[in-house]
Structure 1
Amino acid sequence: MTSCPKFAIVTIGSGSYLGSTVHDVTLANALRRRGYEVVVYWMLEETPELVADGVAQRMLCHGPRYQFARPSEFMDRVIGRIAFRLPRKLRRAVAQGVPGFVENLMRNLVRSLYCYERTDVALAKRLARFVEADGVTHVKMSFGSIGALALEAQKHARKKFDYLVTFQGDEEFASLAEACGVADVYRRRVDEAVRKARWPALVLSRSYATRLVEDLGLDGSRLEILYCGIDLPSETAAPDFSILTATFPRLRRDLPILAFVGRQESEKGIDLLLYATKMLVARGVRFQLVVCGATAKGLAYRTAIKDIVTHLGLYVHHSGAVSVATRDALFAHCRCVACPSINGEPFGLVVAEAMSFGAPAVVPDYGGVAEVVEGDDEAGGLIFRCWDSGDLARQLERLLTDDALHAELAGNARRLAARFSTSRMVDGFLDHLGLPHRAPAQGGLLETAPEKIDI
């Protein structure tokens, strides 16, 4: 065992993977608070404001590297560096404003890993140099789908390091590999990266582990469940309602609030929620719907949401990304949150965060998110049949109209959310690697996480 381990976390900072980025950086910050040295290696994009003081950051590669079918050192080192001198808000506006821009980058990233005889060798060599220069001993890859990069980097490293992969949304990589015609190569190399890693791969839920075994043919004995961690809110008074009205001026205190918070992308099923909302309005259920969150793959789906709202004759308090303060106020004041995802979520980070404020959730029976709302003998929310807007409406109506049921679930929600504390996550991570827990530092090192990126 390494006496003084140092961690590197390789994470894709693109908005498409915001949940995974938050998970990775939350772990990095928590490890730093435990006294471990940590560096974050960004791929494609960076979100440096997520990272606590004391955690180093380096850019492994810029998004333009994958502008074309083959990775380009010129686009990465020259064009990428120039582009990254522009404000990130402007870079993201360009990426979202050009149809298919993000999908093209991700498709070419997958090509670089799986379409050619060897994984992106130039980038693997760069990763090996970073690891050597930073004295890293343990490399955590954000996705199993980029584990091949660590495996290739080991071949070029002059100093030995070990790596660990995490599966947290790899189905998108699998879909892109299928579209590129390299699904078999993808499955083989992902399996190889998992088998040759020193430790079993981490997976965010039991449901997702089952899916990986069934869809990718991975060995279940090489998968270990470790749920995400969230920073639990303090026991102080709830955020003032005025924080909400600053973003949603027409929001009322006297009507229950149903909230959706998350990326506004097609796989999140917001249209399903709108159909359920129309059913509830037709039944005379009185409430307010708030939909907010960032976009990453362009504005087409957000525009579609507005069109559906118009055709259904609904009024929705609709926004793009909101601040963490606004998100927290929404969780604290809403009657419940909805997760209408059609994609089989690996976990349910937003659901866990909402429950930590006492907000019950309505989630699908597909994916790992149901594991967030259910305990051994109690629940912090309700489950609907995935893809069934009628059943979604029925479960939402129960929470919106049954005060006794709502009180019971809200009372359970905080306790169930506490299972997913950052402290538990980092303890489990260190146990998995056979490393000591160490007590959080008192003074000197950051003891609280920095404000997170807009949601």
Structure 2
Amino acid sequence: MGSGDFLGSTVRDLALANALHRRGYRVTVYWMMEANEDMVDPGVQQRVLCHGTRYHFAQPSGLLDRVVGSLLFMLPQRLRVRVVQGSAGYVERLLGNLIGSLYGRPGGDRALARRLRDFLAQDQVSHVLMSFASLGPLAMQAKRMGGHDFDYLLTFQGDEQFAALAARRNLLEPYRQLLNEAVRASAWPAIVVSRDYVERIVDELAVARSALAVVYNGVALPAGGVRHSFASLQLVFPGLSPHFPIVTYVGRQDVEKGIDLLLYAVRLLGGRDLAIQLVLCGSTAKGTAYRNVVADLAEHLGLRIFHAGSVSIKVRDSLYAHSHCVVYPSVNREPFGLVVAEAMAHGAPALVPDYGGIGEVVRDGDKMGGLTFKAWDSGDLARQLERLLVDRQLHRQLVSNTRALAARFSVDNMTDQVLGHVGIDEPAPAMARAGAR
């Protein structure tokens, strides 16, 4: 799923794809709805399984998919994403129609399942990783069609959003039933990205705990000795100073991310002689309405913020490296915390809610790479943020732990665990390097 709402999962899956390719396995990436082709290593084959236009209407449209979608893909990817994200609710509409097609129609989206089966046969794919377990019925249907032998592995990462879309269409029970059928038909237990998320999937989607296994997401660890230019930040955020602490939010600017809580917390700290520079940046898939609310709210609260949309990886990494701390104030029960792991890898401690799988990222036993605050509580968020700004000894201790804690979530560790999970415990054999997938 190329961008926007599920960008974090795209980053995770492409990190895995690139790592497998570098180890000598042949890898093919199949895109649905949108593509981020420049995130894929040279030599990795890419195909578009379907364009977003396929789900413009409630009924899947092959004509809109193949003709209109192909024409739209001739436009630059950045332009496509900007136009779609600028249309409030459009991505949710596409995703809702996708879920309706897979779970609300007899036979699902049979034409797309056939196309997937044909691609897999043409590319001689033996192992398929579905980015979201909610897409499992597509793989299950393609496998049951016959004509090509393959096994599929499902991943739960953000599937609660698909469940919410199913619920809005009165499809939650069919969604649960068919999802569980797809999980049972897989050759392996489904991967889940945190221990807390296992409990959520068991409770909310009635998946058997024995059908789930935890494999944490992986992030690219920065190379040693790399210096991040502050000047590159000033080009994006004019007026940003290296002489005062930077408090940063990086992530989707959508309502469930709780950026307003962070604004309230910073306002509560007003008058305490804390020179905070607040930086907010990230994409959106639900239109710019919430991002505009953030800007308006900051103005009403009398806060100066450094505000941008999506930024380059270079700018993002520089921001992590120069931040006093990174705050992720989500009001959602986050499955993981990719941004938090990335920030700690660059030495920035994190402040996260005590709710969801995100707390597992900043803690390993007694060792902490950040602090937690009471979920949804802007007052406690303000208190913990003040501790990070005032208690220099605490801040130094957290900084000293960050990189070691982040190293647990390296791409290599994730890749090793995924390979072990599907029963491949050895390096890529000569046959794999020669052409097996």
* TM-score in terms of structure 1 length: 0.93
Counterpart of 2:374 in structure 1 is 385
SS in 1 for 2:367: coil
Counterpart of 1:6 in structure 2 is none
Residues 153-175 of structure 1: CA deviation (Å, up to 9, x unaligned) = 01223021100000000011000
Q: How far apart are the structure 2 equivalents of 1:25 and 1:300?
A: 29
CA drift at 1:440: 11
Selected match of 1:96 from 71, 85, 91 = 85
Counterpart of 1:166 in structure 2 is 155
1:331 equivalent to 2:330? Answer no
In structure 1, stretches of 5+ residues that fail to align are 1-11, 446-455
Kept in 1: contact 2:55–2:98 (CA 8 A): yes
CA drift at 1:90: 1.9
1:237-248 equivalent positions in 2, closer than 5 A: 237-248=226-237
Counterpart of 2:131 in structure 1 is 142
SS in 1 for 2:408: helix
1:95-114 equivalent positions in 2, closer than 5 A: 95-114=84-103
Q: How far apart are the structure 2 equivalents of 1:245 and 1:77?
A: 43
Counterpart of 1:9 in structure 2 is none
SS in 2 for 1:420: coil
Shifted more, 99-108 versus 88-97: the winner is 88-97
CA drift at 1:282: 3.5
User: What is the total number of aligned residue pairs between the two structures?
Assistant: 432
- The one-letter code matched in structure 2 to 1:139 is V
Residues 94-150 of structure 1: CA deviation (Å, up to 9, x unaligned) = 212222111110110010011111221000000000000000000110001110100
CA drift at 1:439: 7.1
SS in 1 for 2:380: helix
Q: How far apart are the structure 1 equivalents of 2:81 and 2:72?
A: 11
SS in 1 for 2:27: strand
Kept in 2: contact 1:34–1:440 (CA 8 A): no
Q: How far apart are the structure 2 equivalents of 1:93 and 1:377?
A: 43
Kept in 2: contact 1:427–1:437 (CA 8 A): no
Counterpart of 1:35 in structure 2 is 24
Residues 181-219 of structure 1: CA deviation (Å, up to 9, x unaligned) = 110000001111111100000000000010000011100
Selected match of 1:56 from 18, 22, 45 = 45
SS in 2 for 1:166: strand
SS in 1 for 2:269: helix
Kept in 1: contact 2:25–2:428 (CA 8 A): no
Counterpart of 1:438 in structure 2 is 427
Kept in 2: contact 1:129–1:157 (CA 8 A): no
Selected match of 1:284 from 273, 297, 311 = 273
SS in 2 for 1:57: strand
1:260 equivalent to 2:249? Answer yes
Kept in 2: contact 1:132–1:157 (CA 8 A): no
In structure 2, stretches of 5+ residues that fail to align are none
- The one-letter code matched in structure 2 to 1:84 is F
Counterpart of 1:410 in structure 2 is 399
Q: How far apart are the structure 2 equivalents of 1:280 and 1:391?
A: 11
Q: How far apart are the structure 2 equivalents of 1:357 and 1:258?
A: 14
Q: How far apart are the structure 1 equivalents of 2:133 and 2:353?
A: 25
Selected match of 2:206 from 217, 230, 233 = 217
Identity of aligned residues (%): 54
